[in-house]
Structure formats: structure tokens, C-alpha cells
Amino acid sequence: MKQYDYIIIGSGIAGLYDALLLQEAGSVLILTKGSIDECNTKHAQGGIAAAISSLDSAELHFNDTIAAGAGLCDPEAVRLLTEEAADRIDDLVKFGVPFDTVNGEIALTKEAAHSVPRILHAGGDATGERIEVTLSNAARASKRITIFEYFLVTEVLVRDGKVQGVAALDLHSGSAEEFGCRFLILATGGIGRLFKITTNPDIATGDGVALAYRAGAEIIDMEFFQFHPTALRLPGVPLFLISEAVRGEGGILRNIKGDRFMLKYSSQGDLAPRDIVARGIVAEMKETGTDRVYLDVTHLPPRLLSTRFPQIYRFCLEHGLDITISLIPVVPAAHYIMGGVRTNYWGETNVSGLFASGEVASTGVHGANRLASNSLLEVLVFGKRIVERTRKGEANTTTLAKSDVYPLKERDTAAVSHPHLSLTALQSLLWDKVGIVRSGEGLREAANILAAWEKELKPPTDRPSHELANMVLVGRLMVEAALIREESRGAHFRSDFPQPSDAWLKHIVFKKTV
């Protein structure tokens, strides 16, 4: 078994950033199930939030993040995020990320639930892509980083509570391989492909959460999944994200009648937190009997739209929609998981030697609802802390704070009537029963079907079957958490428990029972 100091699973900004920082500390192997460029990072249009303006401060950023998190943010994690933000932006500048500037200074814009403009962007709405290309080019050029593309990790190898390495499937040859390491970093991204309507690419199948759970790691806050309010809805056109920043620049949401409606649901109107806007859109579609609302930017200068949002402008124009003169049809879509693999302030899990970074991790900064553009910042801040922790030598896992820990509930599925398991059936089930508005009845139905599917699964042999098995497991973790939390908070809304409750100012943690 070939040995490395570090194995990193995933090639988005989380994996690449850590790899580039760790290459001086030892041998680094990146394993990715697709090409190095397949990741969620490149789809991030909005940008990175950081208090770098003289009109801003880490304290203001802290307060905005805490407010969005609906009572469940970890204040110390948020403090680290906001206070270390400027230094991590400096790292990206040194790597060569070409942030947009005005008169020689980095340009800043405003997004929903931010009190001041603090969003950095690159190439207008191409921020994620510019970062991804910059970091992947640097990683490819490094002689100290080994990259194996089209390698699907199938198991985290653990002995006596400590990571030993990974088992992986070479997707080209079909051969099974094992690689050893001192430290393993999960940087596998999100889980958005569990849902029928999503902004996520095909790779976002929750592999990291499933791998970590099976290895004995704690999984937290899985009920908190964020639905982005505005994804382009055109017949025959792939779903396409319309950035939060469009509303930050003055975009207005209108219903099918042309009426502006968000002030009915929040005094912040179109710039309310994402969960409120998404539910407002759903309520408006139900009230008007339609399957979409509209985002209106026709009152904004055409030059602003084409230069500030070049990707959005071009994509819409290529599909016959000129956003400078026509309304943009939009619908909410599955976007981002606030929960995931539970970590401390150094990215460590409860399994010695196992770390998690990026969307797969739950650091505590997002609470019940992520503040827009904090995700890329979280990657940088806590990724750097993983590097600092491991470079000091053998990491001793810090005990995670005490919390209610649940086993994944065993369900009697003998009499459960359910459709045949397929990717389409799973995505439809999660969208219909575990989506923007949930109910106890729908969640129980989903829980029973997912449990039945899990019992019927055959041993996976290729990428699709491994991914489907992972998605069933991750879906179970999500739905069982949503059933346990009998309240509505942040991105988790239950029609049978529509109000938040102080009794639920706590976290739900799952851990595999031996």
C-alpha cells in the first residue's frame, strides 16, 4: 500500500487550497472521482464575504452571520471565521486569484442579510470558476502534489480509532486500490444531487458524509439544508443559478401578475435571508397557481448587468432571454447543506487523523441558515487551520462539545409500499417530502421508503451504484434529523411545527453504533 503524509478527497477549493498549503509539509495525494475541475466551487457566482472595507468590521460580519444562523451558530467558530477572513483573502491574492477592482481597490458588493457591501468577486459572477482555475493550475504544476483523477474512494480505513488510509476504485480500470496516510482530509463537497431540482453538479452525491459516518465520525445538523431562492426556469434548459448578488444589485422579485411580493413575508423584502425568500416564493407560487416567479432587473443599467453578471447575462441570452428587457423566470432549488461531518475549530472529527473541510464539514459557523457568500470563506479559514494543526505533528483529536447523539433509527420496512429504487425516484422523494416545506407525515413516509431501499441495496460495484448507496444513507440521515426536530428554524420548516422553540436550541448528532 503506497503511503502518503496527506490524502485529500476532492478537488474543489477546499481540497486544492489545503493541498497547496501542505505541499511543503509532506507528500500529498489528491483523489477525485471525476476530473480535477469537476466541483461545486466553479459554480459559485456570488463571491466571498470578508470585512476588508474601512466601512466594515469583523464585528459587523460576526453579527450578520449570527443573525442568519437562527440561534444555532457556534459563536467562537463565527469569531474565527470573521476575524481571520482578511488574511485568507490575502492568501488568494498571493495565489493569483484576479479579484475585480475599482480604482485599484478590490470591488465590494452587497448580498441578502449583509448589513454592508463586503462581497468580493472575480470576473463578475465567475468567482468560483476563477478561484478553481487558479488553484487547479497551481496544483497541476506542483511536483509535490500527486493527483489521481477518476478514483472513487469507497471506504475510510480505520484501525483502533485512527485513520490508516482509504480504499478506492480506479474508474478507468475497475481495479480496487488502497492508499495509506497519516492524515485524511475529506473535501468532497455537498449533497445537492439528492434533490430533483438543484443548482449542484452531478458529483454532489454526499460521498464524504457517507464515508465519514461509516468510519465512525459524528454527523450533525443534517436537517438544515439551504434552498437557493432563484434558479433559472426555462423549458428544456438546464437549471442555472441566478446569483444572490443580482438582488443585491437591486433585482426585484415579482409574481405572475407582476406584483412585488417579498415585503409581505419580510421587512427586508428581496434581501431577506435565503430561507425566508425561498418560502416566500413557494407561498406566492401556491397562491397564484403557478410554477415560477420572476426576477426583474429591467430597471437596472444594461451595462451593469452585462459587466457585473457576464455569465448570467450570456447564458440567458444564449437561450433567448435578454435580461435587460425581459423578466427572469425563477424557482427555488436545492443548494447547500449547513450540516455534515462534525468538526472542531481545527477541522478535526472524533476519528483520529480524519479531518473535513468545506461543504462536507459542519464547523458551526452556519447554524440553521448560511449567510450568503460565507461558504467559500469558511473553506479558507478552517482549511488553513487544518494545515496549522497537522503541521505541528501528530494531531490529537480534541474532544467535541457534548451534544445529543442518536443512532440512525431502525425501521420495520416489511409492509412498506415503495417504488423501485432509482436515482430519479430518490431525487423525487427527497424533493417532495424533505424539501422547502416539510411535515411529519411526509417525513415519516420518506424515512420508511429510504430504510426499505437501504435494506434492498446490493453491494455496489461501480460509480453509479456507490453513489446511489451513499445518497440513500445521506438521505436517511437528513430525514431522520428532520423528524426529530419538532420545530421550524432557519432552513428547516415544518408545517406541523411552524414556530421555533427554545427547547430546540440544540444540535442533532448521529453516530454509527458498533
Please list the active-site residues: 274
Q: What is the 3-state secondary structure (H, E, C) of 186-213?
A: ECCCCCHHHCCCECCCCCCCCHHHHHHH
Based on its alpha-carbon atoms, the radius of gyration of the chain, rounded to whole angstroms, reads 22
* Residue carrying C-alpha cell 511543503: 24
* Bridge partners, 361 (sequence order): 341
| Straight-line distance from the first to the last Cα atom of the chain, in angstroms, rounded to the nearest whole number | 27
- The DSSP H or E segment spanning 179 is strand 176-186
Burial classification of residue 498, based on how many CB atoms lie within 10 Å of its CB (0-12 exposed, 13-18 middle, 19 or more buried): exposed
Coil, strand or helix at 29: strand
Decide if 166 contacts 184 (C-beta within 8 A): yes
- Pick the closest to residue 75 from 422, 83, 404, 373 (CA basis): 83
Decide if 13 contacts 96 (C-beta within 8 A): no
Decide if 453 contacts 426 (C-beta within 8 A): yes
CA distances, 287 to each of 115, 153, 183, 197 (Å)? 31, 46, 52, 21
Alpha-carbon distance of 114 to 122, in angstroms, equals: 19
Alpha-carbon distance of 70 to 78, in angstroms, equals: 13
